[in-house]
Amino acid sequence: MPIHVENGLPAIDMLKMEGIRIHEMPQTQPCRWNVALVNLMPEKIPAEADILRLMARCPLETALHLYRMASHRSRNTSGEHLERFYTTHADSPLTEMDGVIINGAPLERVRYEDVDYWNEFRGIMDACEASGVPVLYLCWAAFAGLYARYGLDKSLLERKLSGVYRHVLTAEGTGCPLMSGFDDIFFMPHSRHCQIDQAAAAKESGLSVLAYSPDGPGAAIMADRNGLDFYITGHAEYSPMTLDSEYRRDAARGLNPSIPENYYPDDNPDNRPEVRWRAHANLLMDNWLDKYVCVH
């Protein structure tokens, strides 16, 4: 079934070129299942396309509603775009949604408490938990959520972790509906400057590690034992060329980035990247929508 989004969203044209059906509709038009994307990424339009790409492949008909932080002024996305397509938790409570996705932001080197929307982020977490709304925390939002709820702090890495890594499904992951149908070994991109201590996460009584990577990323997919919240430290939603764009951007800035691991054939950036995560990324989103969002 097609996914419903607000009329005129620029990401629609990007996805139509990929052959993905998107149904434009006024945001006031009702849809049976409604999902919110709290978009923390500076470049919001590509992030919108990444989430829509996964949702549109699910057979369940859903609508995606875009949210921004009221306490933050975006410098990378036009005010006109935000005004037309985005709302805030204060104006339209996220507790009215059937599911919420919160993505990341390049804030690894900033103390959580120093992020200008930290209190708003905490308020959204608390409101969704109190209302029983399932939340999918991605990348920085996963680190921030684990810190806010469990006190698990990040540790900075000397060099950026970037690439496509092998992940192992744990025994707890095998029994979790979110991971239904997953192979014992699967791949997922990561791109970040920080790490969560996997041993500390495994010892946390309220947390379950569903999958981890022994090749660098560590704990990668975790579940809160309330059964509704998931923390994904990687980027299953990334398009094939996202890591390439990040690598070339960092190189142009003179940051001397490492070549993303397990990404370019022969580790040669002149070669087109190999995509090894798309099928499991689609399965992850399908499972989340089918088994946690569209269930009541």
Over residues 81-121, the pLDDT tens digits come to 999 999 999 999 999 999 999 998 889 999 999 999 999 99
Over residues 160-177, the pLDDT tens digits come to 999 999 999 999 999 999
- Measure the CA–CA gap between 261 and 163, rounded to whole angstroms: 4
Sign of CA dihedral 51, 52, 57, 58: positive
Tokens of 269: 């950036």
Cα distances (Å, whole numbers) of residue 216 to 12, 78, 122, 157, 180: 35, 36, 29, 11, 24
Whether residue 128 contacts residue 136, with contact meaning beta carbons closer than 8 Å, is answered with no
- Residue 61 in this model has a pLDDT that exceeds 80: yes
pLDDT computed for residue 296 by the predictor: 63
Average pLDDT over residues 276-282: 96
Specify the pTM: 0.95
CA angle at 210 for the pair 206 and 212, rounded to the nearest 5°: 115
- Residue 27 in this model has a pLDDT that exceeds 70: no
Residue 28 pLDDT level (bands cut at 50, 70, 90): low
- Residue 23 in this model has a pLDDT that exceeds 80: no
pLDDT computed for residue 57 by the predictor: 84
Average pLDDT, the chain: 93
Tokens of 92: 């339209």
Over residues 172-227, the pLDDT tens digits come to 999 999 999 999 999 999 999 999 888 899 899 899 999 999 998 999 999 997 88
- Measure the CA–CA gap between 52 and 27, rounded to whole angstroms: 15
- Measure the CA–CA gap between 74 and 177, rounded to whole angstroms: 36
Angle between helices 140-150 and 118-131 (to 10 degrees): 70
Which amino acid is residue 295, in one-letter code?
V
pLDDT computed for residue 242 by the predictor: 95
pLDDT computed for residue 24 by the predictor: 74
Question: How far apart are the two ends of the chain, measured CA to CA in Å?
Answer: 19
- Measure the CA–CA gap between 172 and 68, rounded to whole angstroms: 33
Whether residue 66 contacts residue 152, with contact meaning beta carbons closer than 8 Å, is answered with no
Residues with catalytic annotation? 139, 235, 237
